[in-house]
Amino acid sequence: MKFSRRQFLNVSGGAVVGSCLGNPFSSVAKAAPQQVGKTLDRQLGITTSSLAYQLSPRAKEDRITLLELPRILRDELGMTVIDLNTSTLAATDRKYLDQVRAAADKAGCILTNLKMNQPKLDMNSPDAAVRNKALDTYKASIDVASHLGLKWARPLPLVPTPDIKIHVASYRELCEYGAERNVQLLVENYGWMQSDPDSVVKLVKAIGENVAACPDTGNWDSEEIRYAGLKQTFPIAVTCDFKARNLGPRGEHPLYDLKRCFEIGWQAGFRGPWCFEHANKDRKALFKELVLLREMLQTWMQEAAKQSS
């Protein structure tokens, strides 16, 4: 059975229900109110991995802390959405997480997602001890996402193709855990998934509940697979990593067609959020390029909206 984008979102979104019993971050059996209460349509932002060279756990000259990022994102980059990465959290204690959320609220920014990128975890291992260690670590991160009021969390796909039976069972366990904490799990085309344009759709369908897609426009093994994969994946997407590699002075992007990636998403009914993933060691150059990407997407959305009206 093939779902329309609207049917899929109604079904998958409805699965994020339940209590938060056992959440070590909450003194009551209730998940934190989600910060993403308003629509994310046409909203633009960044993944914090874009600032891998600029972010620092503590205040340093020429570096940015996560607590400063929301104000800088709003004032200097003109965007409001922040897609977090576990590597960019300076700590996971309750006090620090409350400071992160307060900083975002004060700046009018939205924290949406937690990319769970802890190294050396394998939730697909046939060894139960290895698998359970990965699942326990991911569950702790889902608790963090819940405390921050995030809508989504994404475990990291590995390069080797997994035993799909084990992989689906582990994902379902995380999805059930997330549902009790109002956190939906995401599937991203990375690692073993990059060579198959149908990989995300097939995995989401196999998992079944409390799961959706997060297409990354850059993570495909070829041009043919990229555009076919995006065409398959965008109808079940709830957020997008809009990845750009080396940019020219006017936004030229020779590696692949950024506008075509956008158009595939828009034609599939996806409206946002679009989170830029683009890094540069030079802060001034990075900010200039992120503003350029923002202006490109804003222009494309305006043009697409006019054409469809």
The pLDDT assigned to 32 comes to 64
Pick from 13-17, 88-92, 171-175, 207-211: least confident: 13-17
Does residue 16 have a pLDDT over 50? no
Architecture of domain 5-302: Alpha-Beta Barrel (3.20)
Residues 6+ apart with CB under 8 A from 128: none
Answer yes or no: pTM beyond 0.85.
Answer: yes
What are the residue boundaries of the structural domains of the chain, listed by start? 5-302
Across 192-217, average pLDDT: 97
Across 116-138, average pLDDT: 97
pLDDT band at 59 (very low <50, low <70, confident <90, very high): confident
| Cα 181–Cα 147–Cα 70 angle in degrees, nearest 5 | 130
The pLDDT assigned to 94 comes to 97
Q: Is the dihedral of CA 243, 263, 198, 206 positive or negative?
A: positive
Q: Which two tokens stand for residue 215?
A: 């297409």
* Angstrom distance (rounded) from CA 127 to CA 130: 5
Residue 172 burial (10 A CB sphere; 0-12, 13-18, 19+): middle
Does residue 304 have a pLDDT over 50? yes
pLDDT band at 37 (very low <50, low <70, confident <90, very high): low
CB 124 within 8 A of CB 138: no
Across 98-108, average pLDDT: 97
The pLDDT assigned to 2 comes to 47
The pLDDT assigned to 174 comes to 98
Query: Which tens digits make up the pLDDT trace of 77-95?
Result: 999 999 999 999 999 999 9
The pLDDT assigned to 17 comes to 33
Does residue 297 have a pLDDT over 80? yes
The pLDDT assigned to 26 comes to 44
The pLDDT assigned to 35 comes to 59
Query: Which tens digits make up the pLDDT trace of 145-156?
Result: 999 999 999 999
Does residue 47 have a pLDDT over 70? yes
Query: Which tens digits make up the pLDDT trace of 257-289?
Result: 999 999 999 999 999 999 999 999 999 999 999
pLDDT band at 61 (very low <50, low <70, confident <90, very high): confident
The pLDDT assigned to 20 comes to 32
Residue tagged 């950024």 (tokens): 258
Closest-CA residue to 70 (of 127, 109, 126, 114): 109
What's the Cα-to-Cα distance from 158 to each of 117, 122, 163, 226, rounded to whole Å? 10, 8, 12, 19
Residue type, 196: D
Between 270 and 2, name the one with better pLDDT. 270
Q: Which two tokens stand for residue 235?
A: 């109808």
Closest-CA residue to 168 (of 203, 117, 118, 202): 203
pLDDT band at 123 (very low <50, low <70, confident <90, very high): very high
Rounded to the nearest integer, the mean pLDDT of the chain is 90
Closest-CA residue to 261 (of 187, 189, 159, 184): 189
